[in-house]
Amino acid sequence: MDNLKELLAMKLPVFSQWSWMPEPASAYAGEFDSLFFFLMWTGLGLFLLVIVPMFWFMAKYRRKNENQKALTQKDHNHLAETLWTFLPMIYLAVCFVWGFLGFLNVYSIPANAKELRVIGQKWNWTIQYPEEGISVSGQGAVVGVPIDTNIRLTMSSQDVIHSFFLPNFRIKQDVLPGRYSTLWFRADKEGEFPILCTEYCGDYHSNMLAKLKVMSKDNYKAWVENLKNANNSLAPKDLGAKLYQSKACVTCHTTDGAPRIGPTFKGLYGSTTELANGSKMKVDDTFIKEHILTPTKTPIKGYPPVMPAFQGQLSEVEINGLIEFIKSFK
Amino acid sequence: MSSHTNYLNAKKGFASWALTIDHKRIGLMYLVSIMSFFLLGGLFALLLRTELLTPAHTIVDAKRYNQLFTLHGAIMVFLVIIPGIPASLGNFVLPLMLGAKDVAFPRINLASYYIYVLGAIVALSSLFVGAIDTGWTFYTPYSTTTDGGVVLMVTAAFILGFSSIFTGLNFIVTTHKLRAPGMTWFRMPLFIWGIYSTAVIQIMATPVLAITLLLLIVERTLKIGIFDPVLGGDPVLFQHFFWFYSHPAVYIMILPGMAVVSELIAVFSQKRIFGYKQIAYSSIAIAGISFLVWGHHMFVSGQSELVGMIFSALTFLVAIPSGVKMFNWLATMNQGSISFKTPMLWALGFFFLFAIGGITGVFLGTLSVDVHLHDTYFVVAHFHYVMVGGTFMAFMGGIFYWWPKMTGKMYSEFWGATSTLMVVVGFNVTFFVQFLMGAQGMPRRYYSYLEQFQIYHQISTIGSYILGLGFVTAMITLLVSLKKGQNAPANPWKAASLEWTHTDVIPIEHNFHEQPVVTEGPYEYR
Amino acid sequence: MNTGNDQLFPLHSHFERPAQQIDAAKLGMWLFLATEVLLFGGLFVAYAVYHYLHPDLFKAAHHFLDVRLGGFNTVVLLFSSLTVVLAIHGAQQGKKQMVLWNLFLTLLCASTFLVVKYFEYKHKFHMGLLPGYYFTNAMLPNPDQAHIFFGIYFLMTGLHGVHVVIGMIVLGWLFYRTWNNEFNPQYYSPLEIGGLYWHLVDVIWIFLFPLLYLIR
């Protein structure tokens, strides 16, 4: 899968190969890192606090001959026991309060945020821009956002649970079927940052990648315009080829005759196919359109009814493109 | 083997084992079964680590990989670590330590072993009807919609739950009713306190898992709409139910490990355990609080911020008794007479790895930090440090410690020590680097991954080979001792608890020649 | 207690005294009952959650349950608890006939309960009030979700029914042992323990009845 190779070559910006945290892309991420490194250094301190004495005792009190006795049988010390019960509480209380404040920040969404809608489905993300009237989707989809703008994501899933993860922003949120969840961020650095799915969702869970592209406000405007026009200027077949990749049709349908989760496109157009209910149908334009928009209504025999419905996500132009594309594999 | 009559040679033939109600034989049968499944689960782990050598396809396809990690998790959790120490070592040692002739209900004990075997068979049979690919957590609605043997695997977990309940019930009643004369609660070895606390969790949490799994089975077969949103259900409710059991289950796994380590540190330092009561109470405290922290698995699942806050606070609270135990063990070693026999090496390995596991737990309990780390390799590393670095290290230590009592044989100290070292080194190479890649944003359960993570995955995979070799070496060391080992004395470690002081080299069928009478605590070394 | 009646009390070899064996068995049973309560507890939580989510639905759906039949069954089970107590009382006094008759009556009550349940189930099958997939009834206001109530109804009463059947097996086994003269005024703890189990079966029903049949 060339598409996959391209996806995996996507770069997740990190400070350096051996640094702990990926490069922060928002003010919140910077605050987060100070807490993380606080935990890291105090954790290291705590670790040394128990491990150094352990090695010290191992060396100092090792049994040198068979009959050596312990130096003492003293088995309690009230002060020490009280201290090591209550001192950790103070440390843990600090961690708790600090962590809770950060958590509130993640979930208190500013009122003036620009809204994007996120739809998770096996195995790609669709992001709709209600204001601009555009949408992007598919594995490796490029999600453009303007810099220094509060972005609010309203997310839902079409099938199983997914989770929307932006490592460079230190945020993630589960995306559930049957209810909406929200997340917000404000990018303060231009660049490309990966979007990952972190809730296991099936065979191609790890291909469920997309790219967040933070742009200056002007570039963002241009990007939106460009996207609006792009699909109309391509030849139908080329548009279909593009959608075949970006809508992740490639995950389940081959073009070379090899079987995968769905039927191959080779020789599909014009053939006769049997539905799960036993009736036979000729694969023509109407058949293809129906099976793209509402595939599970009339599933095809021998294939699991797992294809997502594209109803409302594809324009007529795009559907025609896909039909031409499928037609081209005789 | 000694020429005296003992529990191993008192009766002969297959039936005398298959139908035995002797807790020692049942413990041994559990031990052999659990170790076999450990090897199987380990094999799956090595296969999936091998797959991860390259970012995309290496040896298996995505579907197979997903099945591998599911089977690895399900086998290790349900067949190895949860029954692990209680069912094998606990069965063997608990009545001996209490000065009892057997557990309270020997026949139920045998039944629990066969229920375990039945559960294991059902679990493995899911391999043949199409292996399950949901992950061991069976999250809905994925698990209600995917194909494969989900129902079989869930049924297996359901059955295994009963085995666990019966074992726990037996231990509680035995501890209450069958203590030898003079064996007061505070003269019991800390191993018993740990196993007792575990048993309390087992009988309180397991029924909730049982009903959850039953609901899941009914959901899949009849579509009753409890968990599947398409039918009007709530997928997050499943997570609540599941973790209400499975978080306490984490303590079902770790408490027995702590219990073993308490014994080992005291015996091999020849010093009375420091803060006996504090350790005993901390086990009970952990058992209690463990029921109130399940929500920390769900900080990003959409529960309210208030709920998140409460669970985070309670999670920190459960860290305290664990920390208390660490300090008490340290204080026990102080001014002791420390011997580095193999069981102690496992215990020290436990101490080292569990410290890392515990401290990284603080990261995950901290709300905002968990949001970033949730479902990444950081979590994978953390729970392996606790479950393998903690529980399993202690389990191995316990096996090496009680091996002379079980078999009457001493093993090679050299190979015992070598295997411990290999495991500790291999373990750190495998899992430490996973903290790093998790923090950088590498999600778990990924078949393919961004190319920049490859170097970490390769280090981790190499470490896993060393780790696997270490465990195999340890087992071979034990098996070789059966043939070539020297005969053990009755109390090779100069321990002071009843199973060493009042029994033959290999205990007789009813444990003691005469009823022991206890006059002092279990850690009076002279 | 350990003197004079050794033949009467079958002491297992790993116990020292009869009292110890009886105490152990009772404690074991109480713990087991606790796990049973927790098992049903999960279902009660599921009931509470869905009742909270769909209160109207639950109210509408419960009209399809027959309160008279449910009430009758409640009385039958309560009466059976009484007969179990009488059976144990008889054993304490060494009255074999009294034990046998009361165990018989208990079994009869249990069978009556199941027969009534059978007719209730049959009626619901007939009306298409079935869980999930098989739900075909169109009389309820929102049929896409109405099946949830019946899913929970069948799960709760079904699991309880399984417990009734197990209880009957236990009672039958006790009946057989009584018949065989295995019990005497010194040794009747299996009867007590079996009785405890039967009380649990009753108590669970006492919670199920108002939750399912008497919702307001």
Cβ–Cβ < 8 Å for A121, A83: no
**Rounded CA Rg of chain A:** 28
Helices (H), B178-228: 190-222
Sign of CA dihedral A234, A236, A242, A247: positive
> For residues A10 and B91, what is the distance between their CA atoms, to the nearest angstrom?
53
Of C14, C23, C31, Cβ closest to residue B203? C31
Chain B contact set for C145 (CB, 8 A) = 225, 232
> Measured between alpha carbons, how far is residue C115 from residues A196, B198, C69, C119, C121 in Å?
57, 42, 11, 7, 10
Q: Which residue has 């609080």 as its token pair?
A: B289
Which has the closest alpha carbon to A182: A162, A199, A164, A167?
A: A164
Chain B contact set for A82 (CB, 8 A) = none
Whether B260 shows a pLDDT value over 90: the answer reads yes
In the prediction, which pLDDT does A1 show? Answer: 45
Contact B369 A36 (CB under 8 A): yes
> Measured between alpha carbons, how far is residue B512 from residues B19, B506, C20 in Å?
22, 11, 19
Contact B327 A50 (CB under 8 A): yes
Which has the closest alpha carbon to B344: B407, B269, B287?
A: B269
> For residues B4 and B290, what is the distance between their CA atoms, to the nearest angstrom?
46
Chain B contact set for C49 (CB, 8 A) = 234, 237
Contact B335 A18 (CB under 8 A): no
In the prediction, which pLDDT does A255 show? Answer: 85
pLDDT tens by residue, C49-94: 888 888 888 888 888 888 889 999 999 999 999 999 999 999 999 8
Secondary structure (H, E, C), B348-396: HHHHHHHHHHHHHHHHHHCHHHHHHHCCEHHHHHHHHHHHHHHHHHHHH
The one-letter amino acid at B183: M
Helix (H) or strand (E) holding A192: strand A191-197
In the prediction, which pLDDT does A291 show? Answer: 86
Q: Mark whether A and B touch (3+ CB pairs within 8 Å).
A: yes
Chain B contact set for C35 (CB, 8 A) = 165, 169, 203-204, 206-207
In the prediction, which pLDDT does A285 show? Answer: 84
In the prediction, which pLDDT does B419 show? Answer: 97
Q: Which residues contact B320 (CB under 8 A, 6 or more apart)?
A: A85, A88, A89, A92, B285
Chain A contact set for B369 (CB, 8 A) = 32, 35-36, 39, 99, 102
Shortest distance between the Cα of B149 and any Cα of chain A, in A, equals 15
In the prediction, which pLDDT does A283 show? Answer: 87
Cβ–Cβ < 8 Å for C28, B169: yes
Q: Which residues contact B307 (CB under 8 A, 6 or more apart)?
A: B295
Count helices and strands (H / E) in chain C: 6, 0
Contact C132 B203 (CB under 8 A): no
Contact B222 C134 (CB under 8 A): yes
**Mean pLDDT within A314-320:** 80
Residue B335: DSSP 8-state: T
Shortest distance between the Cα of B313 and any Cα of chain A, in A, equals 7
Sign of CA dihedral B133, B137, B140, B144: positive
Contact A202 B66 (CB under 8 A): yes
**Rounded CA Rg of chain B:** 22
Chain B contact set for A202 (CB, 8 A) = 66, 133, 142, 146
pLDDT tens by residue, B270-304: 999 999 999 999 999 999 898 889 888 988 887 78
Closest residue of chain C to B166, computed from CA coordinates = C32
Of C32, C36, C148, Cβ closest to residue B225? C148
User: What tokens appear for A191 in the block?
Assistant: 């660049």
Q: Which residue has 């009931």 as its token pair?
A: C47
Of B174, B214, B224, Cβ closest to residue C151? B224
In the prediction, which pLDDT does C3 show? Answer: 42
In the prediction, which pLDDT does A317 show? Answer: 76
Chain A contact set for B351 (CB, 8 A) = 50, 54
Residue B226: DSSP 8-state: S
Interface partners of B (3+ CB pairs, < 8 Å)?
A: A, C
In the prediction, which pLDDT does B226 show? Answer: 83
Residue A129: Cβ within 10 Å count: 18
**Mean pLDDT within A207-215:** 94
User: What tokens appear for A65 in the block?
Assistant: 């001959």
The winner for highest mean pLDDT among A175-184, A230-239, C4-13 is: A175-184
Q: Which residue has 């393998």 as its token pair?
A: B388
> For residues A190 and A82, what is the distance between their CA atoms, to the nearest angstrom?
52
Of B141, B274, B320, Cβ closest to residue A76? B274
Residue A307: DSSP 8-state: P
Cβ–Cβ < 8 Å for A74, B526: no
C30 reaches B (C-beta below 8 A) = no
Which percentage of chain A shows pLDDT scores above 90?
A: 48
> For residues B115 and B166, what is the distance between their CA atoms, to the nearest angstrom?
10
**Mean pLDDT within B67-89:** 94
Pairing of strands A210-215, A171-175: unpaired
**Mean pLDDT within B309-322:** 90
Of C14, C35, C132, Cβ closest to residue B224? C132
Which has the closest alpha carbon to C201: C175, C153, C169, C173?
A: C169
C141 phi-psi bin (left φ>0, alpha ψ -120 to 50, beta other): alpha
In the prediction, which pLDDT does A287 show? Answer: 86
Task: Give the residue ranges of chain C where pLDDT is below 50.
Answer: 1-5
> For residues B185 and B467, what is the distance between their CA atoms, to the nearest angstrom?
39
Of C16, C41, C132, Cβ closest to residue B231? C132
Cβ–Cβ < 8 Å for A121, B145: no
- The whole-chain average pLDDT of chain B stands at 92
In the prediction, which pLDDT does B231 show? Answer: 78
In the prediction, which pLDDT does C6 show? Answer: 52
The one-letter amino acid at A139: Q
Which percentage of chain B shows pLDDT scores above 70?
A: 99
In the prediction, which pLDDT does A262 show? Answer: 84
Contact C147 B231 (CB under 8 A): yes
**Mean pLDDT within A199-204:** 92
Chain A contact set for B319 (CB, 8 A) = 88, 92
Contact C50 B226 (CB under 8 A): yes
Q: What's the distance, CA B147 to chain centroid?
A: 30
Shortest distance between the Cα of A2 and any Cα of chain B, in A, equals 11
Task: Render B392-419 in DSSP notation, one character per residue.
Answer: IHHHHHHHHHHHHHHHSB---HHHHHHH
Q: Which residue has 């005969």 as its token pair?
A: B487
Task: Render C169-193 in DSSP notation, one character per residue.
Answer: HHHHHHHHHHHTT---SS--HHHHH
In the prediction, which pLDDT does A322 show? Answer: 87
> For residues A80 and B139, what is the distance between their CA atoms, to the nearest angstrom?
44
> For residues A50 and B332, what is the distance between their CA atoms, to the nearest angstrom?
13
Q: pLDDT confidence of B3, banded at 50, 70, 90? A: low
Helix (H) or strand (E) holding A115: strand A114-121
Chain B contact set for A173 (CB, 8 A) = 300, 302
Q: How many beta-carbon pairs under 8 angstroms link B with C?
A: 115
Q: B62-76, B307-321, C134-148 — which is least confidently predicted?
A: C134-148
pLDDT tens by residue, A120-136: 988 889 999 988 888 88
> For residues A318 and A325, what is the distance between their CA atoms, to the nearest angstrom?
10
Q: pLDDT confidence of B108, banded at 50, 70, 90? A: very high
> For residues A298 and A277, what is the distance between their CA atoms, to the nearest angstrom?
8
Residue B55: Cβ within 10 Å count: 22
In the prediction, which pLDDT does B1 show? Answer: 42
Of A43, A89, A96, Cβ closest to residue B359? A43
Which has the closest alpha carbon to B504: B520, B523, B483, B487?
A: B487
Q: Mark whether A and C touch (3+ CB pairs within 8 Å).
A: no
Pairing of strands A124-129, A114-121: antiparallel
Cβ–Cβ < 8 Å for B360, B377: no
Whether B375 shows a pLDDT value over 60: the answer reads yes
Q: pLDDT confidence of B380, banded at 50, 70, 90? A: very high
C196 reaches B (C-beta below 8 A) = no
Chain B contact set for C54 (CB, 8 A) = 232
Shortest distance between the Cα of B73 and any Cα of chain A, in A, equals 14
> For residues A311 and B147, what is the distance between their CA atoms, to the nearest angstrom?
25
In the prediction, which pLDDT does A271 show? Answer: 86
Q: Pick B130 or B153 by higher pLDDT.
A: B153
In the prediction, which pLDDT does A2 show? Answer: 57
Contact C45 B241 (CB under 8 A): yes
Chain A contact set for B62 (CB, 8 A) = 203-204, 206
C4 phi-psi bin (left φ>0, alpha ψ -120 to 50, beta other): left
Q: Is the peptide bond before B243 cis (omega within 30 degrees of 0)?
A: no
Cβ–Cβ < 8 Å for C127, C137: yes
Whether A303 shows a pLDDT value over 60: the answer reads yes
Contact C28 B234 (CB under 8 A): no
Whether B2 shows a pLDDT value over 50: the answer reads no
